[in-house]
Amino acid sequence: MTPNLSRLCFIFNPISGTNRNFDLQGLLNQVLSKDYALHYEIRPTQYAGHAEELAREAAAQGYGIVVAVGGDGTVNEVGRGLLGTGAAMAVLPRGSGNGLARHLGIPLRPEAAVALLRRPRVLPIDVGRLNGRPFFCTAGLGFDAHVSRCFAEAGTRGLSTYVRVALREYQRYRPCPVEITLGDKHIQTDCYVLAFANAAQYGNNAYIAPLADIRDGLLDVCLINQLPFTRAIRVAYGLAAGNLPTSGAADYHTAQTVHVRAEQALGFHLDGDYAGDATDFTVALEPLALPVVVGEGFEVK
Ligand SMILES: Nc1ncnc2c1ncn2[C@@H]1O[C@H](COP(=O)(O)OP(=O)(O)OP(=O)(O)O)[C@@H](O)[C@H]1O
């Protein structure tokens, strides 16, 4: 079925973000109802993983744009469901980090994000896979995955919980020896954090790979082997300032495919959500595999 860009399906994760009184129907009526050519529908998720099923179903029903209403976890599920269908993903950002939305230049103000959908600009982006499992923004091994796991168990969400959990776990976490293969390069090192960036940031404008181009067919790989306190300060500053690559606190590589073998099982995350533990990892990119709606200011490099 040809994707019809005037048929919009909003997949709404009611637990994302902190505003429980969000009136999505009211917002859509206000911003879209005068565009008589548009047909839109809201489908709320009922459980974790449901957004993937709903997105796939919407694409099969001829919705040309499927909108992830939530944070990067919801974006990951909707994106997964749309792979190979031809339908485009849009984002109405409602998470605490909104890494992909920020990278794509989607406004964080809900009215402005919805208004983009009246005349959508659609471009394909690369899709990452870690051991076959898709990610759209970032994936990673080590401390950031460990923190994602503790965050998921913390009972509350939001940036303050994230910072509290990260500071607590920093006291305890120890790096793991790994062997990394990037093309014909072999690196034996410790891994405190090994991040695979398709987009430039984790979310919240924390730039793990500020030079990442989401359409270049390459992963930006960031390695932090050890994180003593003074380096942690430089990393935190580099993430916020967007100059981590020139700070000397992390090493950077680009690659289409990366293999990692860890001495012991390491946690990994996909788009910020803890996704399991493993000792062997293959991370690869599928170039331009998912059409997405981008913001007006998004620059094609
Ligand atoms: N109805 C639901 N009930 C429980 N969990 C859900 C439901 N719908 C989706 N989820 C899960 O909620 C998780 C969090 O969603 P999401 O990441 O979009 O929001 P967030 O955590 O507020 O945002 P951010 O990742 O930016 O902090 C997702 O991993 C998803 O699987």
pLDDT of residue 156: 79
Q: Quickly state the pLDDT bin for 1 (edges 50, 70, 90).
A: low
What's the pLDDT tens digit per position in 160-215? 888 899 999 999 999 999 999 998 899 999 999 999 999 999 999 999 999 999 99
| pLDDT top residue among 301 and 170 | 170
Q: Ligand 1 mean position to 49 CA, how many Å? A: 9
Question: 42 in helix, strand or coil?
Answer: strand
Which protein residue has the closest C-alpha to ligand 1 atom 5?
48
Angle of the 72-82 helix axis to the 50-60 helix axis, nearest 10: 40
Pairing of strands 251-255, 257-270: unpaired
Atom of ligand 1 nearest to the CA of 273: 29
Residues 140 and 260: beta-carbon distance below 8 Å? no
Q: Return the structure tokens found at 5.
A: 């860009």
What's the pLDDT tens digit per position in 77-93? 999 999 999 999 999 99
Q: Ligand 1 mean position to 268 CA, how many Å? A: 18
Round the average pLDDT of the chain to a whole number and report it. 95
For the segment 11-39, the average pLDDT, to the nearest whole number, is 90
Pure H helices in the chain: 24-32, 50-60, 72-82, 99-103, 110-115, 143-153, 159-170, 229-241, 244-247
Block residue for tokens 């499992």: 133
What pTM does this model have? 0.95
Residues 192 and 226: beta-carbon distance below 8 Å? yes
Burial level of 73, CB count in 10 A (0-12/13-18/19+)? buried
Q: Return the structure tokens found at 11.
A: 């997949």
Q: Return the structure tokens found at 57.
A: 């179903």
What's the pLDDT tens digit per position in 103-131? 999 999 999 999 999 999 999 999 999 99
pLDDT of residue 183: 86
Q: Quickly state the pLDDT bin for 157 (edges 50, 70, 90).
A: confident
Q: Quickly state the pLDDT bin for 21 (edges 50, 70, 90).
A: confident
- Around ligand 1, the residues with Cβ closer than 6 Å are 13-17, 45-51, 70-74, 77, 95-98, 157, 203, 272-273
Residues 217 and 126: beta-carbon distance below 8 Å? yes
Q: Quickly state the pLDDT bin for 2 (edges 50, 70, 90).
A: low
**4-119: CATH, from 3.40.50.10330, 3.30.930.10, 3.90.600.10, 3.20.20.70:** 3.40.50.10330
Residue spans per domain, the chain: 4-119, 133-287
- Which of 11, 15, 162, 205 has most ligand 1 atoms within 8 Å of its beta carbon, as the pocket-test mutant? 15
What's the rounded Cα separation, in Å, for the pair 186 and 178? 10
Q: What is the ipTM of this complex?
A: 0.96
The CATH number of the structural domain formed by 133-287 is: 2.60.200.40
Q: In angstroms, how far is CA 217 from the centroid of its own chain?
A: 16
Q: Ligand 1 mean position to 69 CA, how many Å? A: 10
Residue 28 has pLDDT above 90, yes or no: yes
